């Protein structure tokens, strides 16, 4: 078994939909970034690359100055990254730090989508949300961040 950790943060304020965990969340500005800026899938991608013991991270795989990845669907980037992750994914767990919008109503859709992208049962995808109690740039609604861990079982 091998564990990996990932973290990502993007600033809020883009004039496009907010996408988290591969799901469009209505009623909020989008995240600013070269791809669709889905910090949940980005953190999970880095957790999996770490668990795999590669010398890669998401920035090395998909440089943010590559026009090919402009506005890219991060679900496709994650699927591509999975080519570097041998063995079986046991589970992933993610913690989203966001002051707003309220994400609870979207938890089921996000878990389902993340599970679908990874080819996992939904029970293998943990997803929690917390605010920063108004503190710091996340608490002020200027950014959304995500921490993630992933566990993989190496092939025999």
Could you tell me the smallest distance in angstroms from the CB atom of residue 145 to Mg ion? 10
Nearer to Mg ion, 16 or 88 (CB): 16
Nearer to Mg ion, 8 or 99 (CB): 8
Could you tell me the smallest distance in angstroms from the CB atom of residue 121 to Mg ion? 26
Could you tell me the smallest distance in angstroms from the CB atom of residue 62 to Mg ion? 9
Q: Which residue ranges make up the site for Mg ion (CB under 5 A)?
A: 8, 42
Instruction: Return the residue nearest Mg ion (CB atom).
Output: 42
3-class secondary structure for the chain? CEEEEEEEEEEEEECCCEEECCEEECCCCEECCCCCCCHHHHHHHHHHHHHCCCCCCHHHHCCCCCHHHCCCCHHHHHHHHHHHCCCEEEEEEEEEECCCCCCHHHHHHHHHHHHHHHCCCHHHEEEEEECCCCCHHHHCCCEEEEEEEEEEECCC
């Amino acid at each position: 078994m091998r564990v990996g950790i990932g973290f990502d943060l993007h600033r809020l304020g883009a004039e496009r939909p907010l996408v988290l965990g591969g799901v469009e969340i209505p009623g909020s500005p989008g995240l600013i970034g070269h791809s669709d800026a889905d910090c949940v899938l980005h953190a999970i991608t880095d957790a999996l690359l770490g668990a795999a013991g590669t010398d890669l991270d998401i920035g090395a795989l998909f440089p943010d100055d590559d026009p090919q990845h402009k506005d890219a669907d991060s679900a496709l980037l994650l699927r591509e990254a999975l080519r570097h992750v041998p063995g079986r994914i046991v589970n992933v767990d993610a913690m989203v730090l966001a002051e707003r919008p309220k994400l609870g109503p979207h938890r089921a859709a996000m878990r389902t989508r993340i599970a679908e992208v990874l080819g996992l049962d939904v029970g293998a995808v943990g997803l929690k949300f917390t605010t920063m109690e108004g503190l710091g740039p996340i608490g002020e609604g200027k950014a959304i961040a995500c921490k993630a861990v992933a566990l993989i079982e190496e092939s025999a």
